[in-house]
Chain A
């Protein structure tokens, strides 16, 4: 039995190596000044999908939604072994929050079709919301398993996954198709394969080909596209034209999230309080936490 996987990946600013003023006054990240990298947990998700394919057969397709430059990580996916890559890119998709993003992703996944497993990282290191995976599953009407640590077993209709919880882990079984978000510990991403790097370094998206054609009056975009398709170097590119979507649910128009304020919270309490291990004392603690809006 083979399984077809779709992996959701994202290009993110490298927040682990921050320098300078990266927060814009409106509370969003100034991506322009940070190097763009493959979101680490998404890479782990791809590795897990590739492992499933190595073991059981099937295909691995990757999808990213982002600016044209996000094609960089799609090429990296091809270098690692993905069978096909899709770039969803359109100005009308720009500025999407998790709601609008998951809407477009779900629509795209339905258009591609023929999937058993959808993988994604637990969260992206820029927004840290961990919402896109779950929301996508919800829109597709399929089960979701988050914080996946290990795939224990797959058989025809169900998958057994060990998922991380606060104090340990639990085993859950889900019906296939299922969406799985994975944590860093789930796998170590494989290195780029030398031959695939040589083969796919020239893979291009529609936008990249358009740019090539723009700079050269002798090149016609359709011809160029056909040539790249023939050479198996075309990265499928999805715009609003390719999807049957409601535009008001896409991009900024479809994004109710507004960042009110960004604060740097430093937990710097100097004093500490000892709580007796009694029901009464714990009750008081909970009350206090609720007063401080830490609970509830």
Chain B
């Protein structure tokens, strides 16, 4: 009876150290919802207890239903036959259970039958599900679609679509990508037009659509004929009726349980969500940021699974008369994996709490304004949270997705030859991890999204406050090292800014974003080490490694490692 929430000490540690007081109070209308709904909490303690119990249900399903099915889901995969997509048996069973457990409207308000949980708790659920079966996350994790309708749809649309998602009987798809519009969504062509009755209709192709066989599509389409850029795009919701055809599904390296579809819309009736022309510039950006958080958690869940496989195997496997776990090189790899995993988790939940704060403060500000009252300092705090979220979201996705690849890679390495075989779970994890640094924006695009905040050093105040804080013992030494890393970062930043060369800046961005992440994560770990002595080990290894990496990042910049880009044509023969 494994429970993937309660058996994971580190996620429980993160859960117990969450500070969702302000977020929960806003979501619960200062706990007035308890007067209407018998499942609404009466105070913060009650809310936290509810969140814990929900995660226990997720952990139970993940450990006892989803994980045991993962190998067969991978083998069977989603199947396309006669125009119909069928999920693997294990996927169907998991979705049925998740629906029965009322977990498919995780963050939606109660009036739409949702659980009204913070995003942070949903992200924990995604991590837990992904640890069991990464491919299931692609369906479970699509709840952002409902969240987007909740944020930008009108009252009728919310009442129409949201309870359907909450019931678990309807799944969704976000139809953004097209054959010629992947990373560059401004190039989207799918045509949206109004017929003679004024009904919006969609016509055209979408490609690489995760769960494109879902019941409700959120479609990015060109509503402004003659336009060519992002400002001519709007967001639509449509049902998967006879006018929508799945033409094929992709044969992928990993996440086999998740059907990736090519879709054809033939004059499909649709509803405009929000305002015309805001499709890409506002709604998709919002949707995409939510999805990036989801993929980060997916990467983290895969990494957790891979770490566990590695430790288990290393303890069982004997060579040279002893468990390979005790061989220093292997022990060192395992510690490196564990430190990555825990530091990634710290970053994940710090980020998701900022995202929560951004969204809930926005709701609160809007609410106060509607009542004609003065929101005081709240709009400033909201803007601050938005700015920090806009940096942390892509930074987290970059770090976590890359590390999931590294951790699964090392896990397979520890398995040796058998890790390369289908009999062991780790080869599946390696394949599943590989997509996380590609979809919802490649790692390279995450750097582009994060670099603005880094160039403006938007966490300067945050870091300065941390630098003034007194840490004790080992932590004081580590805090000093973080100060040094920050100095290395500031010197490197100055070098890049002074150079004032767009090309140089573009390639140096990766080094700068990494440097920034060391400082932010480093302080998270220091603060955790104050709460639990074991975490000193994590902070210590992380910060010492970060120091070495920081020097390498700085060297790459200052020695102008990238200067040969000008000679690319001569080098790339």
Contact = CB atoms under 8 A, between A and B. Distances in A.
Contacts of A201: 49-50, 53
A198 B101 contact: no
Nearest to B101: A191
Nearest to A196: B39
Interface of A: 190-199, 201, 231-232
B267 interface: no
B438 interface: no
Contacts of B49: 201
Nearest to B110: A195
A197 B46 CA distance: 12
B50 A198 contact: yes
A198 B61 CA distance: 17
For the complex of A and B, 5 pairs with smallest distance between CB atoms: A198-B39, A191-B101, A199-B39, A194-B102, A195-B39
A154 B9 CA distance: 48
A195 B115 contact: yes
Interface residues on B, range: 10 to 19
6 contacts: A192-B101, A193-B101, A195-B39, A195-B115, A198-B40, A201-B49
Contacts of B61: 191
Interface in B44-65: 49-50, 53-54, 57, 60-61
A232 B53 contact: no
A191 B100 contact: yes
Nearest to A37: B1
Contacts of B100: 190-191, 193
A231 B42 CA distance: 13
A234 to B, nearest CB: 14
Nearest to B60: A191
A38 B248 CA distance: 46
B102 A193 contact: yes
A199 B49 CA distance: 12
Contacts of B90: none
A296 to B, nearest CB: 41
A43 to B, nearest CB: 12
Given A191-B57, A198-B50, A198-B53, A232 B38 contact: yes
Contacts of A190: 97, 100-101
A198 B41 contact: yes
A231 B38 CA distance: 8
A228 to B, nearest CB: 13
A293 B404 CA distance: 63
Contacts of B54: 194, 197-198
B373 to A, nearest CB: 31
A10 to B, nearest CB: 18
B103 interface: yes
Contacts of A195: 39, 102, 115
B286 to A, nearest CB: 26
Given A191-B100, A198-B41, A201-B49, 16 more contacts: A190-B97, A190-B100, A191-B60, A191-B97, A192-B60, A193-B101, A194-B53, A196-B39, A196-B102, A197-B50, A197-B53, A198-B50, A199-B38, A199-B39, A231-B38, A232-B38
B38 A192 contact: no
A216 to B, nearest CB: 18
A198 B40 CA distance: 7
Nearest to A201: B53
